[in-house]
Structure 1
Amino acid sequence: MPELPDVEAFRQVLAAHTGDPITGVRVRDPGVLRDVGPRRLDRALRGHRFGTPRRHGKRLLAPAEGPVLTFHFGMTGSLSWHSHDDEPHPHDRVVLSLEDGELRYRDMRKLQGIRLMRDEAEAEESLSDLGPDAMEISRGDLDDLLARRRGRLKTVLTDQSALAGLGNLLADEICWHARVNPLRPARDLDEDDRAALHRAMRRVLRESVKAGRVPPRRSWLTGVRDRPDGTCPRHDVPLSRERMSGRTTVWCPRCQPC
């Protein structure tokens, strides 16, 4: 699933074409369009130029001299740059043609998709259901967030209305780096736990953004979590697992005790 680092990488792909004129929009599968049809999307964007894109959590906003294109990548979405001659992928759903190539929105499962907003104000309003961006949240705001929320820490970290950008992999990774158990009640964390969590969040996100994804490093939880016999990179202790909201939560019982 694309998480904050993946979407930041998609933003950088789009940012490389700031100022380029859009020569056309080809919708290969309208099933990814939300509240807009193929013809209206093409009319709204053709001849316009992309402005500076921005990201909030897992969403990407692409202003185009008035209208704003918003991308929600769901479970399997991506945005990539191609030459006009590149063979299309079966899951390329929308192609934004520019003079020297194409931006392709690819999505296998089509759980979310693309929306067209009239202007920046409407685009900003579309983010009103999201909490603060995980890359930007301050230590104090994170403390306040955790103190206000009921439920387990992992649930709070992955609730996009509370904190935007973290998914399953990032939440587990951050908790492991902070040595905090993801199943603990969020409001029960003490000051040291909250400080460690904020430091770990900044470090993990910084390194993941550099890699363009949550990197599968052997020194990180991501490098071992999918192995049936995976052990903690710190202690070589077998990892613990539990299903939460349909996703597997992984932690080390030694360095992340309950």
Structure 2
Amino acid sequence: MPELPEMETYKSLLTQKIEGNKVTEVAINREKSINVEPKVFKNIVQNQRIVAIERRAKYLLFHLENGSYLLLHLMLGGWMFYGTADEKPDRTIQVQLSFGDYHLYFIGLRLGYLHLFSADEVKEELKDLGPEPLDVNFSLNSFLDLVKDRRGKVKTTLVDQEFLSGIGNRYSDEIAWYAQLLPERKMNELDNNEKVQLYQSIRFVLQQAIQYGGYMDQPLFRGDSKTGGYNTYVYNREGEACKRCGGTIIKDEISSRKTFYCTECQR
């Protein structure tokens, strides 16, 4: 599932491609991928300019010039491609937004969705999300205040979207590895130095993943050399040697989530 770095990568690349452009046509091939009648969706979205693209947690928000918003959550298996009809991937397209000869294809939206909302509806939809971990105002003191009463495990705390927004299964493992903490450790058992290390690891891992375009291996457009340049340290590396200490990466399950870590250097 795309997480904060992947959606941030999509945001920055799509801003270059479609911000300021008019949606010339809308095609809905799967009604369950949207939240209103297709005719209503088309009437509100078609002929509108994309005035801005914003990321919040694992969501993208497309701001339309009429004040409406398209809220995208790709969920498991969802991705996008931008290009001409000749470049279109040989995959089923659930929703398509056209910009003249170029099209933004939404693919794999079986669990994901592209919903149409007003400004107030968007605010209500996202109201329970926790702080953005890379926000300039999210300081170490903010983090320490946030975790002081937390008693859950490191893994389950990091993926809790009401605690912090945007971190999922993959990057929670990467963050715990970089912080040298076992993901099953309890937050209330961490000493102050470990909490500081966890905060620094959150910031570092997410920033590094954004720098390298996240993990997704499907390019956003033909010639896209940015998307998918991030290589994980532990996630999906069961049985491989740890890149830090040479120990063996193991796979476990914590709160029904597959979890990868090194028992040698994570404590």
* Same fold by TM-score greater than 0.5: yes
Residues 46-195 of structure 1: pairs in structure 2 closer than 5 A = 46-65=46-65, 66-107=67-108, 110-118=110-118, 120-136=119-135, 137-195=138-196
- Aligned in 2, Cα 1:172/1:88: closer, same or farther, shift over 3 Å? closer
1:243 aligns with 2:260: no
- The farther-off stretch of 246-255 and 200-209 is 246-255
Task: Determine the structure 2 residue equivalent to 1:221.
Answer: 233
**How far apart, CA to CA, are the structure 2 residues paired with 1:227 and 1:209?**
20
Shift in Å at residue 93 of structure 1? 0.8
Q: Distance in 1 between matches of 2:84 and 2:141?
A: 46
2:85 partner SS: coil
For residue 15 of structure 1, what is the aligned residue in structure 2? 15
Aligned length: 250
Gaps of 5+ in 1: none
Q: In structure 2, what residue type is equivalent to 1:121? A: D
How far the C-alpha of 1:46 sits from its partner, in A, is: 1.0
Query: TM-score scaled by structure 1?
Result: 0.90
Distance 2:198 2:179 in 1: 5
Q: Aligned pair in 2 of structure 1 residues 216, 12: CA closer, same or farther (>3 Å)? A: closer
Label 1:162 to 1:228 Cα distance change in 2 as closer, same or farther (>3 A). Answer: closer
- Helix, strand or coil for the counterpart of 2:148? helix
TM-score by length of 2: 0.87
**Shift of residue 227, structure 1, vs aligned partner:** 4.2
Residue range with higher mean Cα deviation, 5-14 or 15-24: 5-14
Task: Give the aligned partner of residue 38 of structure 1.
Answer: 38
After superposing the two structures, state which structure 1 stretch, 12-21 or 240-249, moved more: 240-249
Task: Tell me if the contact between 1:61 and 1:69 (Cα under 8 Å) persists in the aligned partners.
Answer: yes
Structure 2: runs of 5+ lacking an equivalent: 216-228
Change (3 A) 1:227 1:176: closer
- CA distance in structure 1 between the partners assigned to 2:4 and 2:48 by the alignment: 27
- The question of whether the paired residues in 1 share the 8 Å contact of 2:21 and 2:50 is answered with yes
Aligned equivalents of 1:196 and 1:128: distance in 2? 29
